[in-house]
Amino acid sequence: MPAPDVLPGFADVLDAAARIAPHAHVTPVLRSRSLDEAAGAHLHFKAEHLQRVGAFKFRGACNAVWSLADEVAARGVATHSSGNHGAALALAARVRGIPCHVVVPEGAVQAKLAAIERAGAILHRCAPTIDAREAACARVQSDTGATVVHPYTDARVIAGQGTAALELLTAHPDLDALVVPLGGGGLAAGTALAMQALAPGCRLYLAEPAGADDGARSFARGMLDHAFTPDTVCDGLRGTLGAPNFALLQAAGAEVLTVDDDATLAALRLVASHMKQLVEPSSAIVLAAVLAYRARFAGRKVGLVLSGGNLDLDALPALLPAATQGPTT
């Protein structure tokens, strides 16, 4: 396994798949005829909202935790997270029997904080900025000696996240396109590694909220552009695109598709009504992107990663009235 700050490769994705196999679920691929008709394409949804802790994040966290030497693991792990990565790392640490510290920003989704606590992690609260999260995580590491597992730039995490696309492309090697959410870029970068090795003719698209479009601006400029304040209902996609993630995505020829929140909430309603699956906005954005950029996907066989299902149910009534109705079955 490469060091946390070294770019991973496809061999690391294969190693991760073997390492997490005893612990992670192989998630199903779901279909919907009505959504195929709405998109004018053949859609294959990788159901990572059915993964342990309700998100793909368990893959990367599990790989990072189980790649540690015993003497290092005994000191525990630490991270900062708005929810899903923290819950994933906490569960992976509990399975291995080691401590886990999670720095959480004020205003994080309560359902996700509850999941972190249920998994047995020690919570450390901070201001809702990336700088505050990084500083607090550094303090925890200094105080405890824990190994920091970054939510998306850690090579072990990127390799682990790539196992979702590894499963999808092994089952459906003839996909023409893959669509994944873009926040910090862990899932996207891991997907790029698997896609380039298994389906080099496939095209990678990154669905990003218009209110957190640092990825789109970074690709347009050819360099990272983090000068923004996120304003989106997609709480899991508010993180800034990581440098190693950006490098891997550029090498894969990925394209960013920005989507506004109304379209994402409409897609959330479609997934719930037509597929009977409850996903979070950060997950529904992949369907929103396919519908918003319909011409790009028309007639193609498209894989979409439904990244997570940790939706705050108390907030659901406020979210869905803003969503428009979709096609009928």
Asked if 158 contacts 8 with a C-beta cutoff of 8 angstroms, the reply is: yes
pLDDT per residue, tens digit, the chain (329 aa), is 676 778 999 999 999 999 999 999 999 999 999 999 999 999 999 999 999 999 999 999 999 999 999 999 999 999 998 778 999 999 999 999 999 999 998 887 777 788 888 888 999 999 988 789 889 999 999 999 999 999 999 999 999 999 999 999 999 999 999 999 999 999 999 999 999 999 999 999 999 999 999 999 999 999 999 988 889 999 889 889 999 999 999 999 999 999 999 999 999 999 999 999 999 999 999 999 999 999 999 999 999 999 999 887 888 888 776 555 544 44
Identify whether residues 199 and 71 lie together within a single domain. Answer: no
Render 65-92 in DSSP notation, one character per residue: HHTS-HHHHTT-EEEE-SSHHHHHHHHH
Phi, psi for 79 (deg, rounded to 5)? -160, 175
Query: Does the residue 1 lie in any domain?
Result: no
Find the CATH number of the domain harbouring 84. 3.40.50.1100
Q: From 148, 163, 193, give the residue that closes a domain.
A: 148
Q: What is the pLDDT of residue 309?
A: 93
> What is the rounded distance in angstroms from the CA atom of residue 121 to the CA atom of residue 124?
10
In a domain, 174, yes or no: yes
Predicted local distance difference test score (pLDDT) of residue 329 = 41
329 occurs within a structural domain: no
89, 23 contact by CB (below 8 A): no
Q: What distance in Å separates the CA atoms of residue 102 and residue 89, rounded to the nearest whole number? A: 8
Distance of alpha carbon 278 from alpha carbon 106, whole angstroms: 25
Same-domain status, 44 and 86:
no
In terms of domains, do 264 and 305 share one? Answer: yes
Give the model's pLDDT for residue 77: 97
Q: How far apart are CA 309 and CA 281, in angstroms?
A: 9
Number of domains in the chain: 2
Q: What is residue 322's predicted lDDT score, i.e. its pLDDT?
A: 57
Does residue 20 belong to any structural domain of this protein? yes
pLDDT of residue 82: 73
What residue has token string 């394409």? 41
- Which of 121, 148, 175 is the endpoint of a domain? 148
Q: Does one domain contain both 108 and 257?
A: no
**Token pair in block for residue 182:** 């873009």
75: burial class by Cβ within 10 Å (0-12, 13-18, 19+)? Answer: middle
Q: How far apart are CA 51 and CA 57, in angstroms?
A: 9
Exposed e or buried b per residue across 272-304, where buried means at least 16 C-beta atoms within 10 angstroms of its C-beta: bbbbebbbbbbbbbbbbbbbbbeebbeebebbb
3-class secondary-structure state, position 317? helix
Comparing C-alpha atoms, which of 128, 126, 59, 54 is closest to residue 89? 59
Shared domain check, 133 and 76: yes
Geometric angle at alpha carbon 51, from 32 and 258, rounded to 5°? 60
Order of all β-strands in the sheet with 255-259 = 29-30, 42-47, 301-306, 177-181, 203-209, 255-259
| pLDDT in the model for residue 212 | 96
